[in-house]
Amino acid sequence: MKVLVLTADANTLVYHRGDLIRDFAAHGCEVVTSAAEDYPHVRKYLEAAGVRHEPIRMVRSRVNLAKDWITWWDMFRLFRKERPDALFAYTIKSVVYGCVVARLAGVPKVYALLPGLGFTFVKPETLKQTLVQWVSKALHRFALKRADVIFMQNRDDVQLFTDLKMLPQGVPVHVTAGSGVNLEEYPHVPLEGDADIAAGRIRFVLVSRLLISKGVEVFAQAARQIKVRYPLVEFHLVGPFDPNPNRVSEADVEQWVREGTLVHHGMVRDVAGLLRQMHVFCLPTWYREGVPHASLEALSTGRAMITTDSVGARECVPTGENGFLVPPRDVAAVVKAMEFFIQNPDQIIRMGEASRRLARGVFDVKIVNQIILRAMEIEHSSANPAQSPTSAPCPLQAGA
């Protein structure tokens, strides 16, 4: 079986779907990947896994129907050249274009994964946002009719698409626990006996693309308030600047660094190594997440959590045992949660252990990938871990 994996962002082939791609190959599939970029580190990683990478021209940050014909043409030529047995498309642009073009090119099976619906499905605040959302809904509705199986990462998104009548009748919809996390690549790093926690040098970290809707500004404002009261506490911002219209400006980040509010690490390849040095993970997002991958990495490492009671994000603190859910855009609530950990450092350790248990029981990438492999009718190996009901739900029938 030949599988073509299509995405808008080449980095995700390594950091979000690397385990799945390796599983495809391990199960005897010939795998070809395609994305908008051809980064050397991505190509090196894929070649080591026996995978070919074929970049195409795609502007991933926005949809422009007048200019995106170049992307459609590149996709069509790629599909006709490779003649895959199956397309596995994820990220919004890859799905809404890839599903349609794959059918035109004669690809037998089309699998669509929606890892998160982004800010275009957040309640619009301007006329432009309303128009963008209308176009996005229309494109999704049209594209998903061409899919054989649809994967979504939380039941809130399934419910939204059902209410909007965007899921085609009779097409199976499988809900996975996000993208999953490799528990070996992000090992548990216990914090018992940590000298910095004992001395009050607690380190909070946010790992994300630098988008306003990811809560980066909220994190910085909370950090500014905490630093006045607890000057030993540190705040670390990890992630690249983004071309998205919702981006945080370089000037703002430079100001936060200059005033001593936080440290900006930029794009970090060894996120696991960085998380080892941190104590509490904070993602005050209101972006419509699938399940934030960085949050899963923090769970696996064994870090207490502060995140929002919003779609996708809330999956990472389901009971309150491993952290706090705060309202979106609520700086005061983030400050209060941070102060709790500063004043109760023993809870950083206890809740961190609960995070690791959650990662192991629900978000293990082996569990997530088995759901996908079974739905694609790719024979799975006999050495499969037991699955919990919450991590491997029965497929839904769209429109039911």
Tell me the per-residue pLDDT of 65-76, one tens digit each, with 9 for 90 and over.
778 899 999 999
Mean pLDDT computed over 316-336? 97
pLDDT tens string 146-167: 999 999 999 899 999 999 899 9
Q: Tell me the β-bridge partners of 326.
A: 308
Region of poorest pLDDT, from 14-18, 130-134, 384-388: 384-388
Residue 397 reports pLDDT greater than 50: no
Residue 351 shares a structural domain with residue 375:
no
Per the structure, the count of domains in the chain is: 2
Cα separation of 195 and 199, whole Å? 6
Q: Describe the crossing of helices 216-229 and 331-343 by its angle, rounded to 10 degrees.
A: 50
In a shared domain, residues 281 and 353 = yes
List the one residue out of 29, 115, 69, 5 whose CA is nearest residue 379: 29
User: Are residue 100 and residue 47 in the same domain, yes or no?
Assistant: yes
Asked, for residue 187, whether it belongs to a domain, the answer is no
Give the per-residue pLDDT at 17. Answer: 95
The predicted pLDDT at position 381 comes to 42
Stretch 212-241: mean pLDDT: 97
pLDDT on residue 294:
95
Question: What is the domain extent for residue 6?
Answer: 2-180+365-397
- The answer to whether residue 333 is domain-embedded is yes
Residue 190 belongs to some domain of the structure: no
Residues 199 and 153 in one domain: no
In a domain, 220, yes or no: yes
If you search the block for the tokens 């941070």, which residue do you land on? Answer: 338
- What's the whole-number mean pLDDT along residues 365-382? 86
Does one domain contain both 22 and 99? yes
Buried/exposed 88-126: b ≥16 CB within 10 Å, e otherwise: bbbbbbbbbbbbbbbbebebebbbbbbbbbbbbbbeeee
Q: What is the pLDDT of residue 394?
A: 34
Both 299 and 376 in one domain: the answer is: no
On the question of pLDDT at 393 being above 60, the answer is no
Cβ count within 10 A of residue 271:
22
- 306 in the same domain as 218: yes
Q: What is the mean pLDDT of residues 107-136?
A: 81
| Pairwise CA distance, residues 74 & 77, whole Å | 5
* Same domain flag for 35 and 125: yes
Q: What is the pLDDT of residue 331?
A: 98
Residue 188, domain member (yes or no)? no
pLDDT at 391: 35
Q: Identify whether 14 is part of a domain.
A: yes
User: Both 165 and 284 in a single domain?
Assistant: no
Are 121 and 76 in contact, with CB atoms under 8 Å apart? Answer: no
| pLDDT at residue 221 is higher than 80 | yes
% of the chain with per-residue pLDDT over 90: 78
Q: Which of 149, 139, 34 is nearest to 92 (CA)?
A: 139
Is residue 127 domain-shared with residue 235, that is, in the same domain?
no
Whole-structure pTM value? 0.85
Q: 260 pLDDT band (50/70/90 cuts)?
A: very high
Does the structure show a pLDDT above 90 at 371?
Answer: yes
Structure tokens at 266: 């930029």
Which range has the worst mean pLDDT, 268-277, 341-350, 382-391?
A: 382-391
If you average pLDDT over residues 306-329, what whole number do you get?
A: 96
pLDDT of residue 392: 36
User: pLDDT class for 400, splitting at 50, 70, 90?
Assistant: very low
Provide the edge-to-edge strand list for the sheet that holds 304-308. 263-266, 234-238, 203-207, 280-283, 304-308, 323-326
pLDDT computed for residue 61 by the predictor: 62
Segment 285-301 mean pLDDT: 93
In a domain, residue 151? The reply is yes
Q: Indicate if 95 and 218 belong to the same structural domain.
A: no
The CATH number linked to 42 is 3.40.50.2000
- Report the pLDDT value the prediction gives residue 388, as an integer from 0 to 100: 36
Structure tokens at 94: 């890859």
pLDDT at 92 over 80: yes
Three-state DSSP class for 353? helix
Residue 266 pLDDT > 60, yes or no? yes
Q: Please report, in angstroms and rounded to a whole number, the separation of the first and last CA atoms in the chain.
A: 31
The predicted structure's pLDDT at residue 309: 97
If asked whether residues 101 and 204 sit together in one domain, one would say no
Whether residue 327 has pLDDT greater than 50 = yes
What digits encode the pLDDT tens for the residues 18-56? Answer: 999 999 999 999 999 999 988 999 999 999 999 999 999
Domain assignment present for residue 130? The answer is yes
**Which of 142, 135, 141 is CA-nearest to residue 166?**
141
Amino acid identity, position 383: A
Q: CB neighbours of 217 closer than 8 A, spacing ≥ 6?
A: 248, 252
pLDDT band of residue 129 (cuts 50, 70, 90) is: confident
Please report the pLDDT score of residue 350 as a whole number. Answer: 98
Report the Cα 352 to chain-centroid distance in Å.
21
